[in-house]
Amino acid sequence: MKTVALCHHYSLTFHGGGERFLIDVASQLIKTGHKVAIHALPFGRRPVKTERLPREVRYKENFIHKIQDADVMYFIYAPLVHKLFMGESPKIGALHAFVFLNELQSTEIRNMGYVNFLKGFGFSKFASKIYFDKFRERELRSFDAIHVINKEAIKILSGEKQVYYVPNWIDTSRFKPLEEKNVRFTVLYSGRRSKGFSTFVEIASLLGTKDIDFIAVGPDLMNTGNVKNLGFITDVEKLVRLYSKVHLLVYTSMVDVFPLTLLEASACKTPIVSLPTKAIRGLDLPVLHATSVKDFAHVIRKLQNMWEKRREQYLKLCERMRLEVVKYDVKEVFPKFLDMLKEVASLS
């Protein structure tokens, strides 16, 4: 295998989790001597540069792509749009989006009616969910193999053709503690508004700001109540320093498949509290869990008390976060991803 085509339904400038993943995949493939082309549709385009993309990578953004020189084509799956990427190479369809893995989501999302789902997540995700629910088998047959990033997803797709489980990865040589923890107990929210920001604001409001700082980072957040918005941080070192300084990451998202921010915070020795979804449990990390605003507030107070009065116990939890996340290091995981590409490429 020499050449890999990475195919995506969003512009890389959107700079979400899927876009960052593809940039990282391209970087790792270049390091291992492969040629890489990224083919993207111009949806979600932002007026920013894809600075982290290696110069050796060919990047094409168009509504229709003819791919002729690839040994294997890797798609971040979205309904129908994969047909806009035309080529005869073996194809891998990767299920990264929560709408295609409903069983991994919170109880509230799994039981949500169509009307509320449409109101909560918009027409695009609603249409994707409806279409995939109806035509799942036909859509998955369009690919020679399926890639899932959460081990819990294997159970859902057990009846399908070749399914590979390879999780996402992080570089633990970059994501590591670079700062001491703040003197004042600090709680962080990281993500888009749709990932549960309103719940985080409720938690912050319940606890007040007398002895806790609440901060948030994301592309579409704002200063709200006693939550200070630090904006959208794309610089890795700045993000690592932030993770290192805070005492707790509060992750309130009800929809996920593989939240990379949990790995990043863990690698920086920062404890985490989240909802107990199958997606989160599938990570096998020592994450604390809560099921309501009051539960989250209780865990925050518990960790604050541990930090202030039982510092050694708190630091042991921090060390454990780092110890457990090492299994997701790029040196451990990427070779498995590369093996998957090679095996599927050999089908040609």
pLDDT tens, position by position, 132-153: 999 988 899 999 999 999 999 9
How close are the terminal C-alpha atoms of the chain, in Å?
11
* Cα 194 to Cα 181: distance, rounded to the nearest angstrom: 28
Same domain, 230 and 122: no
Cβ atoms of 5 and 39 within 8 Å: the answer is yes
Token look-up 């700062």 returns: 179
* Cα 62 to Cα 50: distance, rounded to the nearest angstrom: 16
Same domain, 239 and 293: yes
Same domain, 128 and 218: no
Give the residue numbers spanning the domain of 251: 186-328
Same domain, 205 and 267: yes
Ramachandran assignment for 208, one of left (phi > 0), alpha (psi -120 to 50 degrees), beta (any other): left
Same domain, 32 and 151: yes
Cβ atoms of 74 and 9 within 8 Å: the answer is no
Q: Is residue 43 part of a domain?
A: yes
* Cα 68 to Cα 60: distance, rounded to the nearest angstrom: 14
Average pLDDT for 95-102:
93
pLDDT tens-place string over residues 265-315: 999 999 999 999 999 999 999 999 999 999 999 999 999 999 999 999 999
Q: Is the pLDDT of residue 128 over 80?
A: yes
Same domain, 164 and 18: yes
Q: Is residue 177 part of a domain?
A: no
Same domain, 258 and 339: no
What's the pTM?
0.90
Per the structure, the count of domains in the chain is 2
Q: Is residue 175 part of a domain?
A: no
